[in-house]
Structure 1
Amino acid sequence: MTNSILILGGTTEARLLAEVLANDTRFATMLSLAGRTRTPISMPVPVRTGGFGGAQGLADYLAENRIDMLIDATHPYAARISANAAEASRISGIPLIALRREGWVEQGGDRWTHVENVEAAMAALGTKPRRAFLALGRQELLPFEQAPHHSYVIRSVDPVEPPLGVPFTHYITARGPFHEADELRLLADHGINAIVSKNSGGSASYGKIAAARTLGIEVIVIRRPVLPAATSFESVDAVFSHLAQIFPAERGE
């Protein structure tokens, strides 16, 4: 018997989980992406791009496509999507589990300043001109136009279009993982004295945090949002083990 799985993706872990499930004949897996990245990585399962029309739209999709399990493997800061997933699960009766990577933990030598949102991060840079590395998505850069006295280095998967309306900006288009040694060079070469980052967790983008520690650079960390309660796992292996218990292989396979 084939079990239909819908993964709400957008993270490295979502892609890795899709790869694992694609190689298991028990599962027919669909990966849903919001479509914010223009050039997503090739996926091993069918991909659906775009929104569902809120919680009710997602609930209708789950029912119409006879989905057996919904997996929220979205970014830790995709609070609205996670809330819609929880509500869609409640409406439809389709079970939901979440793959939520653990956040980074502040260590000795770190200089972290915790803030609630992007606007607060912009304010935390202060009034004195600084050279700031913005490790944020394209959609979250606009508030920094209110602080044109800083110089910015901005790295994103897709080009920032239109460019930010500030006079001193350097753009880097790149896709991780980013290693500590490379991040050390980037921060030093650009004279960075502040980083603005979400606490994304995982290893792919941790290099800048470790490099900042080595160089004594302040990291302005945007706190994670509160996500709805769900049966949660921190690794792809843990999710797969859970699915294997719920959908055991048929005898003879």
Structure 2
Amino acid sequence: MSQVAFVSHGGGPMPLLGDPSHSELVSTLQALTNELPKQPSVIIMISAHWETTGFEITASSTPDLIYDYYGFPDESYRIKYPAPGAPQLARDIALKMDIQGIPIRLNEGRGFDHGMFVPLILMYPEANIPVLQISLSSSLDPVQHWEFGEQLANVLPEDALVIGSGFSFHNMRTFFAPKTPKVNHDVHAFQAWLDETVTNSGVTMSEAKERWSKWSKVEGGRFCHPREEHLIPLIVCHAVSQKQGVSIPFTALDVEARHYVW
């Protein structure tokens, strides 16, 4: 049975630059591996920062890093995380997903974006575990991604670790605006719905799928995610965990970030 986690990856490279506002996120990610029962043989990363038509999977043996952020100190463009790829496993996953009716294209040129390397530098600094990254579909359709996660659960190696990297809250304007009572109300309303959906063992698989299909209608949902690319990795991870029948704890850093571990 695979291990599954959803993590908030912070603002660009800031968790790696000693930014005080990210100190709790950094310490939580550094401790997160202690919650996982075993060292994975491979990490399957679903990052908010890669969208394609349909789904793609990295297939290079030595992927480069993509510094997909702007205006940061020079040192943030010299960050290294030389984790190997797993091209044969990528081909195996793509073949098995195609048989299930959900094709994934192999991408031999794509590197790892900061949604991958920022959390993994903190969680697995040795960079000695092979990593595959899977894109989001540019549709950002919650049902499509839920069904993708269901099928992905069927083709994973038993000792894989699936990580969704995004944010439980991603309204960029509000990050830097005063936290008014209205803002706090909307954020907490959606976070309460999110925690109920993901952590309540009484929510069945079909009920979870239905809830996710209507997430944007939930109070505070569209306020917390004006665009949902940072939420979609959580949907994939939740589907993987539900298919495997795994219960879940979670860590709440603040009203803007959640880490869920299955």
Output the TM-score relative to the length of structure 2.
0.26
Which structure dedicates a bigger proportion of its chain to strand? 1
**Greater fraction helix:** 2
Please tell me whether Structure 1 or Structure 2 has the larger radius of gyration of its CA atoms. Answer: 1
